[in-house]
Structure 1
Amino acid sequence: MTAPETDTTTAQWDAEALRERALASLTRARDRTTLLTTCVDGPELTAQHSPLMSPLVWDLAHIGNQEELWLLRNVGGREAMRPEIDSLYDAFEHPRAERPSLPLLPPAEARRYAAEVRGRALDLLAGADFHGTRLTEAGFAFGMIAQHEQQHDETMLITHQLRTGPAVLTAPDPEPGPPFTGPAEVLIPGGPFTMGTSGEPWALDNERPAHVREVASFRIDTTPVTNGAYQAFIEDGGYDTERWWAPEGWAHIRRHGITAPLFWRRDGDRWLRRRFGTTEAVPPDEPVLHVCWYEADAYARWAGRRLPTEAEWEKAARHDPATGRTRRYPWGDADPAPHHANLGQRHLGPAPAGSYPAGESPHGVRQLIGDVWEWTASDFLPYPGFRAFPYKEYSEVFFGPEYKVLRGGSFAVDPVACRGTFRNWDYPIRRQIFSGFRTARSEDV
């Protein structure tokens, strides 16, 4: 059944507003890219800091290459600037582990290339017609490229976390607030709601189309699971008790000797963590970070709970029980502001659990947007009526049980790449990502 659309529609954006939005989003992304690639020297840019990640210089030129491909060539009809490098920066042609051995553009040349592409793209934006094709409608191609760059900025920030050198990035900690004293969980009543979107101008293909989902009543944590709560799982032998783990997860942690979240180590009777080159005590009130899906699932079983499904997560985040409509964000339809959520690399970590009361959902659930990506129980699958656009390799090739869905974004996600409908996915063994979770339980349990 097709649902009536309830979020922002293309018709609500005029051409100049779209142009300004695209310019601001592209500029913000490039400023962040520049920060992440100028805070270290050349050898650090060309080194591979983990086989899971590309050299930073690959990301830099890949950002420019994708911008050239989609904006200059596809939208603008321009000739390729440097067709000989296309294959070098094709993410599907070369796995990350192989990229250091490729004849990549050196840092200075990669910067010049990305800057030249950007200059031409901004000229194109100044005179762009936001009608005519699906790619240009409502400035979609410009929004897609801004999101792509910000997604690679998050990837580069992950690379910085994996670096073993001294700290090179700084940001203020989130403003301290009063300790959260609200309920541990809230009830989300059963019934239908509108999931996904058909009218959000820059939503990506896997977020579409809007459709009705029926969800039974359930209870969900008011805040993400904290470091302190997760430490209780560790101290209770969570990593040594097979019955809490999915068979594949148990085999994985045994094979790799995993006994705590990534970057944690025990120091006597306390836990320390490494965060962007600095070693510090693990703060008990922050959402736990750098856990894989198997760890999140095991904790939930230990706690007598489970991970929420993707549909449950979205209903908790977007459904307004007073009106029956589906919001763009937990707080309403307004774009994210600093008081709503911890986004955009303003900080280099999550805020304490229970922060951002202005960003809570109508059901009273907090921090659904920002802070940590939240693992869900769901496999990454298409919505009914899904159509790949503008290329199958963005979503379609990843659909299946091999990937689990994450929702909500993290402190490392820019608002342009984070919505109540935005879907992320990864292998259930991944821990280098900025991932945490919250738990749920069925109402009849």
Structure 2
Amino acid sequence: MTDSPTPAASGPHGPAGPDEADTEALRQRALAALLNARERTALLTDSVDDHELTAQHSPLMSPLVWDLAHIGNQEELWLLRGVAGQEAMRPEIDGLYDAFEHPRATRPSLPLLAPAEARVYAAEVRGRALDVLDGTALHGARPLVRAGFAFGMIAQHEQQHDETMLITHQLRSGPAVLTAPVPPPAPADSAGLPGEVLVPGGPFTMGTSTEPWALDNERPAHLRDVPDFFIDTTPVTCGAYQGFIEDGGYTERRWWAPEGWAMVREHELAAPLFWHQDAGQWLRRRFGVTETVPETEPVLHVSWYEADAYARWAGRRLPSEAEWEKAARHDPASGRSLRYPWGDEDPTPERANLGQRHLRPAPAGAYAAGGSPLGVRQLIGDVWEWTSSDFLPYPGFAAFPYREYSEVFFGPAHKVLRGGSFAVDPVACRGTFRNWDLPVRRQIFSGFRTARDI
């Protein structure tokens, strides 16, 4: 997911707003989302010392201190300047934290704010932003603030950077600094689950025109028609993926797209990122701890090319984005599209593995309460799921509130991921949410499930 640039003029589309009676509840929702995001940001940045905050742990990622100040800068740009019309607090730093001006690999060379200064800046911005939230009419005509959109957008932006910082934590060397108090739940009925589920063909409503904090690429709602297809009940597991490896999956060119095969050869790939073999046993490194690869968990840290190659090897394919969303949202009984696989209620810990709660995916088949009406599980949380689709606009798309969030990334270079991961917060994850990345990316919390035609 991309970073945010300077605000542009409000676009033609904004979310539908609440009536006056709902304004206080909406304000409290926005407040809770902002506070929850900042609590997580503090955990990710306070758990390491200043040296680790300023170090670049991978050329694929920014120093953590850049993310910290960028979060504050974007909050200032959109809420203090964009919503409240305030003067810039520190205009001289805008360029340093413009993600489109400076690629991640070059950010350590910039004169960035030091950790203490970045914390002070972000805290001062936050204090002012909460005052803006308290004094802003959320039911007015301005698309940027209607239904609290700008505040929801900033909470999502911060949570997306929190996920990015968690990826940096996974890439850093050294002892573990993050812990999870309890493991994710194991399914009680995994042995009896079918391997795949039939999704009946026909039209369904894809996307949304009513979700108040949905981002521009999720809009507008429109009809899609897909034929009958089968989709995996759960994401592909580490154990199943080991079968691909042991059958020579990384040495057989026939399974790979040409660009994927070139990647395998250039980097001598033989397994998912962070895996290695010792005495014939597969191990992985997870947030500073080396452990046996858990065969029942969804496979993690695989690129689109690896997911596509596995699907070909298995005699299947990746689902299209439309197929994924129909499996996740379509209710055959009512004929309508749900907000989430389980219904319209917000996520709970019983329904999905979200919010960095367990620092790992749950075993395949977990979260029966989060299953779709058709019986597909773990569509929300656990691992981002690669689809076969390029990242393209929906019919009637309009950029809002700035082109650089989605529009500049449309095209065949980026593939769509759906469903979120254990690292995603519920505010930035819903049945219509679209993520995208380059097909070579492996450091992200990505997995997949497969599909097949009738």
Find out whether 1:142 has 2:151 as its counterpart. Answer: yes
Find out whether 1:60 has 2:68 as its counterpart. Answer: yes
Q: 2:357 aligns with which of 334, 343, 346?
A: 346
2:176 corresponds in structure 1 to 167
AA in 2 matched with 1:137: R
Confirm or deny: 8 A CA contact 2:185 2:363 kept in the other structure.
Answer: no
Residue by residue, what CA displacement relative to the aligned partner does 1:267-300 show, whole Å, maximum 9, x if unpaired? 1221000000000000000000000000000000
Q: Distance in 1 between matches of 2:426 and 2:375?
A: 21
Q: How many residues are matched?
A: 436
1:408 corresponds in structure 2 to 419
Residue by residue, what CA displacement relative to the aligned partner does 1:173-232 show, whole Å, maximum 9, x if unpaired? 113332512100000000000000001000000000000001111000000000000000
Alignment of 1:175-324 (within 5 A): 175-178=185-188, 180=190, 181-324=192-335
Confirm or deny: 8 A CA contact 1:404 1:426 kept in the other structure.
Answer: yes
AA in 1 matched with 2:177: V
1:40 corresponds in structure 2 to 48
1:5 corresponds in structure 2 to none
Structure 1 regions of 5+ residues with no counterpart? Answer: 1-7
AA in 2 matched with 1:48: Q
Q: 2:87 aligns with which of 76, 79, 93?
A: 79
Alignment of 1:418-433 (within 5 A): 418-433=429-444
Find out whether 1:106 has 2:114 as its counterpart. Answer: yes
AA in 2 matched with 1:340: R
Shift of the alpha carbon at 1:9?
6.0
Confirm or deny: 8 A CA contact 1:10 1:200 kept in the other structure.
Answer: no
Residue by residue, what CA displacement relative to the aligned partner does 1:65-109 show, whole Å, maximum 9, x if unpaired? 000000000100100000000000000000000000000000000
AA in 1 matched with 2:179: T
Give TM-score, length-normalised by structure 1: 0.97
Q: Which runs of 4+ in 1 moved over 2 A?
A: 8-13, 175-179
2:11 corresponds in structure 1 to none
Q: Distance in 1 between matches of 2:147 and 2:379?
A: 27
* Aligned residues with identical type, % of pairs: 78
1:328 corresponds in structure 2 to 339
Find out whether 1:128 has 2:139 as its counterpart. Answer: no
Residue by residue, what CA displacement relative to the aligned partner does 1:108-130 show, whole Å, maximum 9, x if unpaired? 00000000000000011112101
Aligned-partner SS, 1:133: coil
Aligned-partner SS, 1:14: helix
Q: Distance in 1 between matches of 2:186 and 2:253?
A: 38
Confirm or deny: 8 A CA contact 2:237 2:296 kept in the other structure.
Answer: yes
Q: Distance in 2 between matches of 1:318 and 1:16?
A: 29
Confirm or deny: 8 A CA contact 1:286 1:353 kept in the other structure.
Answer: yes
Confirm or deny: 8 A CA contact 2:185 2:366 kept in the other structure.
Answer: no
Q: Distance in 2 between matches of 1:45 and 1:128?
A: 35
Q: Distance in 2 between matches of 1:162 and 1:418?
A: 23
Aligned-residue CA RMSD (Å): 1.0
Aligned-partner SS, 2:38: helix
